[in-house]
Amino acid sequence: MSLPALRTQAIRAQASRNAFVRSYATPAFEKAANGIAIAAADEGKPTSSISIIARAGSRFEPAPGVAHVLKNSVFKATNKRSQIRLVRETEALGGVLSTSLSREHLVLTAEFLRGDEAYFAEALGDAISEAKLPVHEYHEEVVPAVQAEYEQLIHDSGVYAFDLAHQLAFRKGLGNSLFASPHTAVDHSTAVSFAKSSFAPSNIAVYGSNIDAGKLSSLVGEFFTASGAAGSLESQASKYYGGEVRVPATAHAELDQLLVAFKGAARSEVEYAVLALLLGGEASVKWGQGATPLAKLHTATSSAKAFNAAYSDAGLFGISVQAKSADVADVASKAVAALKQAAQGVSDEALKQAVAKAKFAAAAALETKAGQVAFVGEQVASGGKAPSLEDVFAKLDKVSAESLAKAAKSALESKPTTVAVGNTHVLPCASSRTGAGAPQSGAAAAAPAGRARAQSNVGARLLKKRQSVAYHAHPGVSYEGAPAMPPMPPMPQGAGQGPRAQPGAGAGAVGAQFVPGGPGLAPVASSSTIQHRAPSPQQQQKPQPQGPPRSARPEAESQLLATGLDVDQLASEGFKPEDFLKQSLPSGRGDSPAQMEDLRRLKGRLESAMKITEGELQKSVFNNYADFVLISKEIATLENEMLELKGVLEEWRAVPESLEGGWGDDDLLMGAGGLNRRTQRNSIADLATLYKSQLSALWEGVEGSQKFLPYVPGRHIITEASSFLELHAATYKPKQPVHLFLLNDAMLVSVKKRRGPGIGGPVRLVAERCFNLSDIVVVDLKDAGDLQNAVKIKRGKETILYRTDKAEDKKMLLLAFKKVAEELMNKRRKEMLSEAEARKGDPRGFRSDFDGTFASSGFSPAAILGVGRDDPSGKDLSWIGDYSDELAVSIATREFEDAVVWVEKGKSILPQIAGDAHASQLFRAKLDQRTHELVSALLHDLSDHAIRKSGVVRTTTWLLRLGQGERARETFLSARGRLVRKRARQIKFEGDISMYISELAMVCFTLIKNTCEWYMAAFKDNRMASGFVRWASEQVEIYAEMFRRQVYGADQDGKVIEESLEVTKAHGAVLRDVGLDFTFLLDGLLRPQKPAPQPRVSSSRLRDDALTGSHLRPPKAAAGAGADPSGARAGEPTSAVALARQSIFSMQGGTPSGEEEREVPRVPEGRGSGEEARGAPAGAGAGAGASQQGVGEAQ
């Protein structure tokens, strides 16, 4: 292309750029009547947004972390709508609600389709003026979200370093962290107060994108009401300090982070923004290398990027380096050299490129809603007017090479802010030393130019004698023989200038360099020309001594030297007070008053030195307070773990002795001692009766305990404790009083609850949880602070704390635990001995109870099972132990399919080994034990609320193969019932009864429908259907009870009742999809119940009626009336199950009235009052099979 063509193309591009600037809609700015600043721009796009910009960033927060908490507290429940309603309505309209937090502003944004601005303006108004902010919502939703964001922060080294840089640079105000630390608790009342002040009309501004300014103004006046104090939040003016911090990486990362920042400028000055783009760091072409100085440093494992964080009254400018630990120093050196080169001058070509990039960045930002909010909304919220793009371009055009060089030089003259995150042993350090290089006068001018002031480390040595913490850079450590550090270019003049500068030193007399791995910066002489100077040969041969640690502060050191004491002698290890007094006090004065005056002066100097050292120690403690707290927590944790380890070692220490002294117990192994058993038979029977009566009393006294502790031969109560409190594992706050029951194989935890409403009702015990003693570890916690007389119970990752006010109760419980543990250990030892003897066989070569018929048959259990050795003689029983081990491993590794196969194989060989009584008894005991463990694991998985449909089908199939169908059904339905109640309790009642009933019906009937689908897929046998029908009818009755409580009242509106009934019927219709129709049942249950006087009947009469079912029959006067309209015959029971069955028959076209179609279900063996018979009269489950068939066909 020719030169004229290029010139023509450039002119056209410039004209189009100017046209874009003119065409950009300048936001309309105005003040509403309530004092809210409003800005809007309408570009005619199909999507719009409304943003509330509040001056409530982290710099305005009254306590650390409050702004972060407020950011996560908005868009929750308000006085007008619940959170679930807000989410549902927002998603129905296709909108998005979001919040963002910066150091100066909190932004609430609603994005939506054009035309829906009225609803979202109302939602934003509710969020700032009608928010509830309840305490339970704060603890259950806001605090976990805040903690999760903080955890994400500390694992992102870039964001973490940027946040730490602000804390070092500004300390307060802009130095406040954007994230709430878990080490500083945020009070709920403080957050509520800050929210009210943040959303005051004078403290917020509203910006609308693609919305008419007049319409936005009317919406703000309608929905944005005053919600706080009239005044806005204030913050002190920002002041730059600088400093250094080194943080080890909290997570494994391949690259380390080094951030070097300097004092920047406010948002109104654009020189630093252009300077950041001039240095660059990113390529403008994908997969290419940029042309900027920092972009040229980019490699596969390292990068450097300039940044400019500008705020209303201050700014932070710097360079961020990310590389491997060994490469960070080199990349940082080259990046600082590029900044130093910019301070010396900028070429016109580089200036034009940087200004063009700045213009593009400003224009591109205004094309996004987030950029418009940051560019326009924040300036409006800060009290200014909405700027135009033309004003920004005009400012950028005024930037010159001289102004850029001046900005770079001004930044380099400030004290640097250095943050290193990663491998702190290798990452470079940065500090400052004074040096010459500026014109001096007097004695100072006679000193050599490159000579630094000799530093004393006596302050650190004195401080070290007062502290018990050994610092990593002790002054006494010798650095002889250390490898020479690679030199790096010094930082420009004024960088790192601090209070240690010599009098008379100019602004350019300060240099700094990065030293990998060193505790501080080596002194570097620099001149006003800022040239790099190579070290002399003498410096290369002789290692330079390192400076004192950071704990020895220059001001404290100068104060100690000013006292006139020989602090070197005081800090020495071999200090002798007598010699010090002889040297410090003049001799030959006798007892004159002059000597007393010398003593007073010496005492005063010593007291001054002591106060200075104490102050320095106190500052050190404050600076390291977080580390002290962390270390103390770790020590407490280690103490408890050591106590736990001690208890485990004491238990296992007795195992070898028990094994050594127990070999050869033939009576135990081989079943001998029949005479002793016959003589003890009566006493054992009496003891079994006593144990059974104990369990019966426990079942009667503790509600629900039989579910956790069914009858097992030999199970009995050891002790119980009623004075314990359960504590929160993290805060040690009391949760609830508990009653502990310790049995020989388990521990039952019951809670105390009151019957009926009111405070004065009777107290009952309800079983809450039960622990298997083989699964828990009991730890005696050491008394400390408020934690007195406490014990800790650990089961896997779960930890439970219990505390009592009586030390003797704790002692009694621990002794009982120890006794039970010893008994369990002895039992395990006997089992181990029995297995070991069975494995090695009888040493005499035969067994007294061995049956030769079993061996002569040629049957080999080991060969069938595939374990142990194939012994045709049948004497070697090692295959039993191998089989038990294989099955235990399958259960432990959750390979349940293999475990079920092992159990089925074991059951298949039981008839063949029945001829060998000893082998059959031993194998059956092992098989029953492992089967119980397998069934318990499967039932636990089946009761988990997080299980999916495929998991239910798979787990149920395994249980059915094990013959545990009844338990599988009860466990599954009980878990689903608890889930229905849990989801119903999670529905928040906001005062709208119709809305509450709608949500309740949707939850209940949807879960019943899903449960039916899962149940039909898992239980194919029609005989199992009646149990589900009973469960479904119970859930409908529970829903009806909640319906009647909420809907029917003395002053209830009839319209509300009608709406609630319609909503219930509409949601109840979803059950027809799975073959269930509870319409008739709902019609009767949803009617208001009128209380009727009940005749007083004796308890015996009630018992007789309950047995015969006569209380369910209609009165004699109505007995001859015939069948009722619903199809039920007079005299038949009309229970919920019968009505449910009848509804299913009516839907499927069947009729339950024929007596010949009835079939009495078979009651399982050992369950005289089976699940089909419980809660329903005889015949109630007669149509269960038919109803199940109808459901299956509907599915």
pLDDT band at 525 (very low <50, low <70, confident <90, very high): very low
**Cβ–Cβ under 8 Å, residues 1087 and 1024:** no
Percent of the chain with pLDDT over 90: 18
Helix (H) or strand (E) holding 39: strand 37-41
Residue 980, Cβ density class (10 Å: 0-12 exposed, 13-18 middle, ≥19 buried): buried
Query: Which alpha helices (H) appear in 93-199, and where do they start and end?
Result: 117-129, 135-137, 143-154, 157-170, 188-198
Phi, psi (degrees; rounded to nearest 5) at 110: -125, 120
Q: 2.102.10.10, 3.10.580.10, 2.30.29.30, 3.40.50.1000: which CATH number matches 677-826?
A: 2.30.29.30
Q: Look up the CATH architecture of domain 240-367+383-423.
A: 2-Layer Sandwich (3.30)
**Of 161, 60, 160, whose CA–CA distance to 417 is shortest?**
161
More confident residue, 107 or 855: 107
DSSP string for residues in 738-769: EEEEEESSEEEEEEEEESSSSSSSPEEEEEEE
Supply the pLDDT for residue 406.
92
- Mean pLDDT in residue range 991-1010: 89
Q: Average per-residue pLDDT in the chain?
A: 73
Residue 41: which H helix or E strand, with range?
A: strand 37-41
Torsion of CA 377, 379, 382, 383, to 10 degrees: -100
Amino acid at 198: S
Reported confidence tier of residue 386, pLDDT bands at 50, 70, 90: low
Question: Is residue 978 over pLDDT 80?
Answer: yes
How confident is the model over 134-160, as pLDDT tens digits? 888 888 889 899 988 988 888 888 898
Q: Which residue has the higher pLDDT, 1021 or 675?
A: 1021
pLDDT tens sequence across 906-923: 888 888 787 777 778 888
Q: Using DSSP, state whether 1113 is helix, strand or coil.
A: coil
pLDDT (tens digit per residue) in 550-567? 333 456 666 776 777 777
Residue 469 token pair: 């913490």
Domain boundaries defined on the chain: 240-367+383-423, 677-826, 842-852+862-910+920-925, 949-1090+1101-1111+1123-1153+1171-1194
| Per-residue pLDDT tens over the stretch 660-689 | 544 433 333 333 344 444 444 455 567 778
Q: How far apart are CA 810 and CA 791, in angstroms?
A: 8
Residues in the chain: 1195
Q: How confident is the model at residue 231 (pLDDT cuts 50, 70, 90)?
A: low
Distance CA 468, CA 624 (A): 13
* Residue of 762, 792, 767, 787 whose CA lies nearest to 777: 792
288-302, 682-696, 900-914: segment of lowest average pLDDT: 682-696
Question: How many Å apart are CA 881 and CA 886, to the nearest integer?
Answer: 9
Q: From 1105, 1077, 909, 1104, select the one nearest 1009 (Cα to Cα).
A: 1077
Angle subtended at Cα 337 by Cα 332 and Cα 340, rounded to the nearest 5 degrees: 130
Q: From the CB of residue 252, how many other CB atoms can be counted at a distance below 10 Å?
A: 6
* Position 442 pLDDT exceeds 90: no
Provide the pLDDT confidence category of residue 755 given band limits of 50, 70 and 90. low
Which of 158-162, 475-479, 1088-1092, 1186-1190 tops mean pLDDT? 158-162
Reference 304, options 255, 357, 265; nearest CA is: 255
Indicate the burial class of 929 (C-beta count within 10 angstroms; 0-12, 13-18, 19 or more). middle
For residue 119, the model assigns a pLDDT of: 92
- pLDDT of res. 172: 87
Segment 1129-1147 mean pLDDT: 46
What is the crossing angle of helices 917-942 and 896-909, to 10°? 150
Lowest mean pLDDT among 621-625, 975-979, 982-986: 621-625
For residue 111, pLDDT over 90 is answered with: yes
Round to whole Å and give the CA distance between 890 and 880: 16
197: pLDDT strictly greater than 60: yes
20 Cα distance to chain centroid: 48
Per-residue pLDDT, averaged over 961-988, amounts to 90
Q: pLDDT confidence of 748, banded at 50, 70, 90?
A: very high
pLDDT, residue 154, reads 82
Sequential DSSP letters for 794-844:
EETTEEEEEEES-HHHHHHHHHHHHHHHHHHHHHHHHHHHHHHHHHH--TT
- Residue 490 per-residue DSSP state: P
Which of 1080, 1087, 1086 lies closest to 1143 in space, CA to CA?
1080
Using only the alpha carbons of the chain, give its radius of gyration.
41
**Which has the higher per-residue pLDDT, 46 or 512?**
46
Contacts of 808 (CB under 8 A, 6+ apart): none
Residue type, 1057: I
Res 466 pLDDT > 60: no
Mean pLDDT of the region 1095-1104:
44
The Cα 182–Cα 69 span in angstroms is 12
What is the Cα–Cα distance from 241 to 415, expressed in whole angstroms?
A: 7
Please tell me the distance from the alpha carbon of residue 524 to that of residue 456, in angstroms, as a whole number.
18
The predicted-structure confidence for 869-900, as pLDDT tens digits, reads as follows: 555 555 567 788 888 888 888 899 889 998 99
Rounded-to-integer distance, Cα 64 and Cα 194, Å: 12
Instruction: Tell me the angle at which helices 949-961 and 965-985 cross, rounded to the nearest 10 degrees.
Output: 150
